[in-house]
Chains A and B, each alone.
Chain A
Amino acid sequence: MREAAEILPRGEREAGRKLPQRDGGSFVFVKGLVFLLAGLIIFCILFFADILVKEDSGLGISVGVSGLTLIIGMAKGFSFTGVAQGIGEVAFEVPVLPCVLILAGIVLSLAAAAAGAADLFMRRSVRKNAFFSFGVSIYFIVLTVLLISPLPIRAEDFFQNEVLFYQQFHLSGPVFVVILLSALTGAFQLGISEKNYANLKRYAPFYGMLIIPAVLIVLFCIYPIFLQTVMSFKDYRLATGIWGSTWVGFDHFVTMFRDGEIVYVLWNTVYISLLKIVVSILFPLILAIMLFDISGKLSGYRKVVQTLIYIPHFFSWVVVYAIAYAFLNNEGVINSLLAQLGIAEKSFLTSERYFITIQLVTFGWKEIGWGTIIYYAALMSIDGTLFDAAKVDGAGPLKRLWHITVPSILSVIVFMSVLSLGNVLKTAGGEQLLLFYNVPVRKKALVIDTWLYFRGLSDLEYGLGSAMSFFQSFIGILLVLGCNWFSKKFTDRAIW
């Protein structure tokens, strides 16, 4: 409150009643308290939670090792005991180096808590202390990377066979919590000054509410990325689990690019995507312009048309497939019509020849109408007097189109194109192609997303699938960055 008084006008009124103290006591207190508490929480997690797990997925045995277990075991001359799920107490060994490294991390976290305590009790705010928190965070990131990497540290499995450390042990979830928490504490120490402390207090409840989205982001956005990166370079086996599986370097990428089908996969992905981009930009644009140019007297008609053309967008691909099936199957309406004309039955859905056309037509049917909205909005923002003036000057409809309409929305068109090009490896559309998939059209229906489903998920080649996704995301982000740069340079719009 006192700090608020220095910044905000509300303070001026309060100042009349209560003289503001200029010591900033509350700020320093809160900051120190947060620092100390976060340090203690982190220490407790490291000390009591199972941060290290010894696991044999094949046998289904896993033993959690907490900081406490480590210290007791080290004190007993490096002989450890822990409780394995469903089996009971087991004795095992942990190599010396990881023990020492983890212990050092625990000590570091204690030092951070101590720095917090010092700040709190001496009523001071030392910004440099933030580096204790960042230190803990970075230390555990490095440690995680070290311990899951193929370092030649020997360990024993449950049958006393010698294996590499990472094949038996891995750091577990709580360590990621520690990394995140200490990074956040560090950011808090560094980012919160007396100036924005008032704002911090003002918005305090929202940080609490943010927990749900934050957990979802970490679990379903960030952790999968981490997993994908690790899995791309590992030979994942169910028996050894994610962490215990052997590192194989770039093997998956080599396999991927030597695969007999990869040529179709990549070609189809880019080819279908580019065609879809053309369909999803050009046709909505033309249609939007036509709708816009329909004379104002017929606005009722225009509204009806707009209502109708948006409908297909709301149907699932399953429904679209069902409708396409009704039209195109061997006894469907199109074949019946052909029969009336004396043309032999064609199996549209199971022949390579028509596959891509069918994809484009169904895609167009679903999305063209909906796509008009964005152009229509852009057209609505054009100054209407321009058109009137052009009309008075005797410009025909095509001239107006060319000299007013197109130039006015050119930036939107370029922006939309650039945005779509950035997504070129994803636009081909897994869901749609999977539904239209059947064995005879395999050659045309394999794109990255369908390949991922067949090879990765159905054939259980998780490593290979992850490598493909990694490749897809990596090229994707490069394309997005490039396209954004391009968009910024040549139009006034950019994604960020």
Chain B
Amino acid sequence: MLKSKGSVGEFIYQAVCFTIAGLFALVCLYPLLYTFFVSLVSKAEWTDSNGLVMFLPRHPTFAAYVRIFKTNTYILTSLWVSVLKTLLRTVGGAVVAAILGYVLSRQKLPGKKLLTGVVVFTIFFGAGLIPNYMVVQELNLVNTIWSLIVPCLLNTWYALIFKQFFAALPSEVEESAYLDGTTELQMLWKIILPMSKPIFASISLFIMVDSWNSWFDAMIYIDVVHSDLWPLQYYVSLTFNNLTQVDQGTAGDWQEIVGTSGDVPDIAVRMALTIISLLPVLVAYPFFQKYFVKGVYMGAIK
């Protein structure tokens, strides 16, 4: 497999690189597979094997998934909340970041320096948990779905990545178009936007993952009474029962799903929930991998 032209040292080095990289890839992959395997395990098999199910169970069953969707409707509500907030945050966030990034990238725009100063300042000097909570409270957003969307709509990092991208576009095209009488808006619409599909893809995907994965905002902004606004990730975190002791104590209805009765072990239900909550990201990832990587490159080159 490895054709070493050089010395033994060369071969050993290649072998080491090859092995370690491969091992690390397995380390990344296996826990994921393990989670999936456990979600398929039946109660009988789990007891028999003393919890040592390391590969696909002998008698895989989707009973855990069925139970999740049949016990109550919370899962559907929370899925809907997650999808809705992800959609709104992605569209809104990408547009807002693009506007700010585009304006910051215009070298000749009067006021650009002031604006850049403000943006950079807000990156390095932020407020903490409590002031942010109070602002959301003052705006009467607490316990509404907007509390999960509006406060994080503007991400100045993403705006700066947009800025990098727009600033790197060849300015000759724009200048000559401008001299031909094209207005800036037409230029944005007809020249810039068609060229910037990759960056929009990258940033939208980043925001999408961010917002699909966020749960902490739900924990602080949405109380038990409004549990129909809890997104999936927060719901999953609650079934692990660690934080319920600090979060007003009552997540009983949610716990119902991982009750003790039934033909599936608790752990299988929990892992099934985990798989449901990570599935969208996992399914989307292979298609968009190159955009994610590109996004990092663009953010890195400053």
Contacts and interface: CB of A to CB of B under 8 A. Distances in A.
**Interface of A (DSSP majority class):** helix
Given A305-B21, A316-B214, A322-B271, A231 B242 contact: no
Contact of B297 (A222, A224, A335, A373): A373
B18 A301 contact: yes
A315 B120 CA distance: 28
23 contacts: A210-B99, A217-B118, A217-B122, A220-B135, A221-B122, A221-B126, A227-B134, A287-B21, A290-B16, A294-B14, A297-B3, A308-B28, A314-B209, A325-B240, A326-B34, A326-B38, A326-B271, A331-B51, A336-B49, A377-B301, A431-B215, A435-B240, A438-B242
Interface stretch (A42-50, A78-86, A138-146, A450-458): A450-458
A396 interface: yes
**Interface of B (DSSP majority class):** helix
A190 B181 CA distance: 29
A213 B52 contact: no
A496 B135 CA distance: 30
Interface of A: 8-10, 187-188, 191-192, 196, 199-200, 202-203, 205-207, 209-210, 212-213, 216-217, 219-225, 227-228, 231, 242, 287, 290-291, 293-295, 297-298, 301-302, 304-305, 307-312, 314-319, 321-323, 325-327, 329, 331-333, 335-337, 339-340, 365, 368-370, 373-374, 377, 391, 396-398, 430-431, 434-439, 449, 452-454, 456-458, 462, 465-466, 468-470, 472-473, 476-477, 480, 495-496
Interface residues of B, number: 106
B233 interface: yes
B125 A477 contact: yes
B140 interface: no
B50 interface: yes
B131 A231 contact: yes
B130 A309 contact: no
A323 B267 contact: no
Contacts, number: 306
B21 A294 contact: yes
A202 B178 contact: yes
Contacts of A293: 13-14, 17
A466 B139 contact: no
A206 B111 contact: no
B168 interface: no
B289 A310 contact: yes
Given A196-B108, A305-B21, A452-B128, A336 B52 contact: yes
Nearest to B247: A458
Nearest to B236: A318
Contact of B242 (A217, A339, A435): A435
B213 interface: yes
A323 B14 contact: no
Contact of B127 (A192, A202, A454, A473): A473
Interface of B: 2-3, 6-7, 9-10, 13-14, 16-18, 20-22, 24-25, 27-29, 31-32, 34-35, 38, 49-54, 96, 99-100, 102-103, 106, 108-111, 114-115, 118-120, 122, 124-135, 139, 150-151, 153-154, 156, 159, 178-179, 181, 183-185, 209, 212-216, 220, 233-234, 236-237, 240, 242-243, 245-246, 267, 270-271, 273-274, 277-278, 281-282, 285-286, 289, 292-293, 296-297, 300-302
Contacts of B184: 202-203, 205-206
A199 B18 CA distance: 56
A269 to B, nearest CB: 13
A213 B29 CA distance: 39
Contacts of A225: 125-127, 131
A339 B130 CA distance: 45
A205 B185 contact: yes
A213 B130 contact: no
A228 B274 contact: no
Contacts of A206: 99, 102-103, 106, 109, 184
Nearest to B114: A187
B95 to A, nearest CB: 8
B99 A209 contact: yes
A438 B245 CA distance: 9
Nearest to B215: A318
